[in-house]
Amino acid sequence: MTVFDARRRLAAAAAAALALLLGAPASAQILTRITAAPAPVPMAFVPALSAFTGLSAPALSISALTLAPALAPALAAPAAPIPSAVAAAALLRPIPAAAASERPNPLGQLRRALVDWLKPGVAAPDDSAAGAISAYVLDLDGNAFGPGFPTKIILFRKGGNGELAVPTAQFALVEKNIGKDFAYGGVNLKDFELRGDKSFREFFGPKFAADLRYAVENLPASEWQGPSWGAMVRALSDPRLAAQTYVLTARQHTSEQLLDGFRYLQRAGYIRYLPKVENLHGVGGTHRTAERKAELMTEFIDSLQAAPLGEDAGVHAIGFSDDTWANYEKMLDALTGVLRREPGRWSKVKIVLFFTGANDSSRSPVAVVLNAGGTTRPYVPGEPR
């Protein structure tokens, strides 16, 4: 293999990786700018790619002007907003082997684990046998969608009508400090309070689809795509996985209003299949969001346990991801509690829980498998279903 062939293969691999991680439109715009580079400049998209995958940069060099033939298929897609950090034209410079060692990247590893875990159920060999089912249950704000997603939760100044807008991805950290002596956004939260549905007014009506459209068309992908974005896209790129994709969100939109947002993503080319409308659950407004998520998850697992399995089909599998520690902790406590009381209740289901709190600096991302007796073990990427 010549050096040029190696470079072209690396370019094609980069195109495929970016299409998977950022979506075809965004990756195409990045690669368009790379191939248009008139002269060698730093490879600005490498840090972003490393952040998404946890991998170090390849120890090869690429001439920007030789990439076009390899990247032509990807460049046919329409351009879309991309992260400013990766917007510059660039090339890979030679990297000494000693400098290519990987640094710990828990969030990048978690992203890999989420996508690795999401495999379609094993197809039945014929109509008389039942195959295994894979199901994915996810939160939206701060999890599938990132810190810059435009929906806000409104805090009100005590004794008045002054407002402080808090991004949904940050609310889990802010909520426990509302009314306390805590600095946030240039103010002291001791002077602010929540006011019921008035604070969550953007969680109702068609706001979700409108905010999603605004984010896609106006913001860098790094601002509106969250740690479980890649896993969600993976799930909605396969018809079997899409049929078993569930949303549990603190939003209070109707299931149809939530589906409108996914319809937009489908039209924009980010996903191929829609989740079922009956699988989309807005559980906010109950003042017990974490508990309701755990109750619904229990129902989902029970339904999988009841689903038939062929003789060699293995087990069903279900995963849950959330960026709020309270939701993850409640889910873990509730499900392990069931298994301690009834060890055989979910004997045909493998359960994996993911904590994806990218904005919670006090806690690292977590991926665990629940054992039959209510204990847990770390999820290992690549392990059998």
What's the Cα-to-Cα distance from 211 to each of 78, 221, 246, 308, 372, rounded to whole Å? 21, 14, 20, 40, 41
For residue 264 the two structure tokens come to 């937009």
Q: What is the pLDDT of residues 125-148, one digit of tens each?
A: 444 446 889 999 999 999 999 988
3-state secondary structure 240-291: HHHCCEEEEECCCCCHHHHHHHHHHHHHCCCCCCCCCHHHEEECCCCCCHHH
Residue 78 near residue 48, CB atoms below 8 Å: no
Distance CA 334, CA 6 (A): 51
Q: Could you report the per-residue pLDDT of 156-214, keeping only the tens digit for each?
A: 999 998 999 988 878 877 888 899 999 998 899 999 998 988 888 888 888 999 999 99
Average pLDDT of the chain?
A: 75
- Residue 350: pLDDT over 80: yes
Q: Which helix (H) or strand (E) holds 204?
A: none
| pLDDT classification of 367: cutoffs 50, 70, 90 | very high
pLDDT digits over 60-79, tens only? Answer: 223 333 333 333 444 444 44
Percent of the chain with pLDDT over 90: 46
Is the CB of residue 374 less than 8 Å from the CB of residue 339? yes
Mean pLDDT over residues 237-256, rounded?
A: 93
Closest of 51, 147, 142, 47 to residue 104, by C-alpha: 51
Q: Where are the domains of the chain?
A: 3-102, 110-144+220-378, 152-203
Instruction: For residues 327 and 99, give the distance between their C-alpha atoms in angstroms, rounded to a whole number.
Output: 39
Instruction: Read off the pLDDT of each residue in 292-320 and give the average, rounded to a whole number.
Output: 92
Residue type, 179: G
Distance of CA 107 to the CA centre of its chain: 11
Q: What percent of the chain has pLDDT over 70?
A: 66
